[in-house]
Amino acid sequence: MYYPTTRLRRLRKNPVLRNMVSETRVTTDDLIMPLFAISGKNVKNPILSMPGNFQLSIDLLVEECKQLFDSGIHSVLLFGIPETKDETGIIAAEDNSIISQAIKAIKKHVPGMFVIADVCNCEYTTHGHCGTIVNGDVDNDLTLDTLAAQSVTFAKFGVDMIAPSDMMDGRVGKIRNALDKYGYYNTPIMAYSAKYASAFYGPFRDAADSAPQFGNRNSYQMNPDNSNEAMREIELDIQEGADIVMVKPALSYLDIIRRAKDTFNIPIAAYNVSGEFSMVKAAAERGWIDEERIVKEILTSIKRAGSDIIITYHAKEFAKYIK
Ligand code: PBG
């Protein structure tokens, strides 16, 4: 049946009906808010390239979590800015590391908050690379040991989920084994499976003080040219025991999200990264776009592409929009 019998505009005219036939709805249940923990007390350092985001000392991080929780955001992803750095990043695995303390404090004061720890070394190494350097490049297998140690420490302090973002081969299996060995078989792993070597991480590296001091991350993060390779990365992570797989960044990679959703029967997460956030903020500050409408449209597009979970710096404001 064709026009004039068929008229698709009929379903768009009435707002009630339009909502009834809506295919995608983002809710606060879908969202994870990234937060940055730093040592000290009453510290709130603004991250200039990411307006509204701060490096927070643990006392204020707890307050932020209370507010987020009350607004409907029930999950946070933690990144740490340590006082000192070392060659391998193993300091992150210490019992008094910044993230260990943050996990403990949030779980104590906001017990309902689902706390996810990013597991990587770049925030903790003097050189800013995601692992241990041997002959000018990140050594895969040595790095696995530091990632596993970090994961076990975070699990000991009650983290709800581990999210390895380093892109070493075999890290999901290594972390799964280590967690299981110490009895943390119920701690899920959300793997940054298809993580691309992207210019969209620029503002984050200021926020987390994690920019590589030499070279780039092209020898471990994925080439943005590739889609088939992303499917291999995801498949391997699933075989190694990932519970959730992630595509990162989100917006320039919606095709990868959709392909992953169609290929694998596993929850998919997408990371709406710092550069994607900052571009929206910069344009909104100039009055060039309607921020609220843009944010809703962006998050909807990521979900419509097939993502079940969205990690986004817009989470806090989005919760206010839909109240
Ligand atoms: C750590 C890590 C990065 C991000 C998340 N975990 C930075 C990077 O790989 O350089 C980026 C997050 C963002 O840009 O919002 N490896």
Q: What is the mean pLDDT of residues 13-31?
A: 98
Our mutation pick for probing the ligand 1 site, out of 171, 204, 273, 302, counting the most ligand atoms within 8 A of Cβ, is 204
Q: What is the mean pLDDT of residues 163-168?
A: 97
Give the three-state DSSP class for 272. Answer: strand
Q: What percent of the chain has pLDDT over 90?
A: 99
3-state helix, strand, coil in the chain (%, to 5): 45, 20, 35
* 100 Cβ contact partners less than 8 Å away, ≥ 6 residues apart: 94, 153, 154, 156, 157
Q: What is the pLDDT of residues 37-94, one digit of tens each?
A: 999 999 999 999 999 999 999 999 999 999 999 999 999 999 999 999 999 999 999 9
Specify whether 303 is catalytic: no
Question: Is residue 277 within 6 Å of ligand 1 at its C-beta?
Answer: no
Tell me how far the alpha carbon of residue 7 lies from the centroid of ligand 1, in angstroms: 46
Rg of the Cα atoms in the chain: 20
Q: What is the mean pLDDT of residues 277-297?
A: 98
First to last CA, the chain: 41
Question: Is residue 274 within 6 Å of ligand 1 at its C-beta?
Answer: yes
Specify whether 107 is catalytic: no
Our mutation pick for probing the ligand 1 site, out of 119, 143, 165, 272, counting the most ligand atoms within 8 A of Cβ, is 165
Tell me how far the alpha carbon of residue 283 lies from the centroid of ligand 1, in angstroms: 22
Our mutation pick for probing the ligand 1 site, out of 33, 50, 120, counting the most ligand atoms within 8 A of Cβ, is 120
Domain locations in the chain as residue ranges: 24-321
Tokens of 228: 């088939």
Binned at pLDDT 50, 70 and 90, residue 323 comes out as: confident
Q: Among 133-137, 171-175, 289-293, 308-312, which stretch is predicted with the lowest mean pLDDT?
A: 133-137
Q: Are 127 and 136 in contact (CB under 8 A)?
A: no
Nearest CA to ligand 1 atom 6: 165
- 215, with CB counted inside 10 A (0-12, 13-18, 19+), is middle
Tell me how far the alpha carbon of residue 122 lies from the centroid of ligand 1, in angstroms: 9
Q: Answer whether 0.85 is exceeded by the pTM.
A: yes
Tell me how far the alpha carbon of residue 204 lies from the centroid of ligand 1, in angstroms: 6
Classify domain 24-321 at the CATH topology level: TIM Barrel (3.20.20)
For residue 251, the tally of other CB atoms under 10 A from its CB is 17
Residue 20: phi and psi, rounded to 5, are: -60, -35
Question: Is residue 201 within 6 Å of ligand 1 at its C-beta?
Answer: yes
Tell me how far the alpha carbon of residue 281 lies from the centroid of ligand 1, in angstroms: 19
Q: What percent of the chain has pLDDT over 70?
A: 100
Tokens of 215: 């070279």
Longest CA span, the chain: 71
Q: Among 25-39, 104-118, 205-219, 232-246, which stretch is predicted with the lowest mean pLDDT?
A: 205-219
Q: Are 162 and 188 in contact (CB under 8 A)?
A: yes
Q: What is the mean pLDDT of residues 119-148?
A: 95
- Amino acid identity of 90? I
Cα–Cα dist 246/72, whole Å? 23
Cis, peptide link before residue 4, omega less than 30° from 0: yes
Tokens of 305: 């592409």
Among 85, 107, 248, 316, the one annotated catalytic: 248
Look-up: residue for tokens 């808010």?
33
Alpha helices in the chain (DSSP H): 15-20, 58-71, 98-109, 140-156, 171-181, 202-207, 228-240, 254-263, 274-285, 291-305, 315-321
What b/e sequence results for 113-149 when a residue is b if at least 16 CB atoms lie within 10 Å of its CB, and e otherwise? bbbbbbbbbbbbbebbbbbbbeeeebebeebbbbbbb
Among 85, 104, 107, 195, the one annotated catalytic: 195
Cα–Cα dist 276/281, whole Å? 9
